[in-house]
Homo-oligomer: A and B are copies of this chain.
Amino acid sequence: MSVSETETPPSLTALTTYLLSNVGKTARTRLAERLAEHGQRLWHMAVLAALADFGPHAQRDLAARLGIDPSDMVKIVDELATAGQVERNRDQTDRRRVSVTLTPAGRSALAALTAEANAVQDAVLAPLTEPERAQLHALLTRVHQGG
């Protein structure tokens, strides 16, 4: 009959909730695909970013900051360590703690991942002009802080 019915129902696109959920999912998925080509996942990038921005963390503090389970953080740091992007050192003042530090390799890995993220961003936000992208970013920042 008709060409092909691929339109999204207006009842859904009328909901900002739906658009956020949907656009966010495609952004997330595409970014994850890019990172996968580097053998990494979203949490790996988040950990590298946290270390770059705030310096060395105890593993527990890293987990708390990023809001994930400490037992999951173990595995992420494991993988980053075997990739040489992060270093584990026993804290000598409290030998239960493990201090996690970014290595130079980790820093340059983060730069590469950030470049990928920007590429995805260009693709996803293609329909928008530069000032519109800035506006979107500003709005999302406020929403993010408030949530």
A131–B8 Cα gap in the complex (Å)? Answer: 25
B-binding segment of A69-77, A81-89, A90-98, A138-146: A138-146
CB atoms of A12 and B49 under 8 A apart: yes
Q: Which of A113-140 contact B (CB under 8 A)?
A: 114, 117-118, 120-121, 124-128, 132-133, 135-137, 139-140
**Does A108 make an interface contact (CB < 8 A)?**
no
CB atoms of B121 and A5 under 8 A apart: no
Partner pick for A126 among B133, B137, B146, CB 8 A cutoff: B146
Q: How far apart are A48's CB and chain B's nearest CB, in angstroms?
A: 8
A67–B53 Cα gap in the complex (Å)? Answer: 39
CB atoms of A6 and B65 under 8 A apart: yes
- Tally of A interface residues using CB under 8 Å: 63
CB atoms of A121 and B65 under 8 A apart: no
A-to-B contact residues, CB < 8 Å: 4-13, 15-28, 31, 42, 45-46, 49-50, 52-54, 57, 61, 64-65, 67, 110, 114, 117-118, 120-121, 124-128, 132-133, 135-137, 139-147
Q: List 21 A-B pairs, Cβ < 8 Å.
A: A5-B57, A5-B65, A7-B54, A9-B49, A11-B110, A11-B114, A13-B144, A16-B136, A17-B121, A18-B117, A19-B137, A20-B20, A20-B124, A21-B24, A21-B42, A22-B144, A24-B25, A128-B139, A135-B139, A136-B139, A136-B143
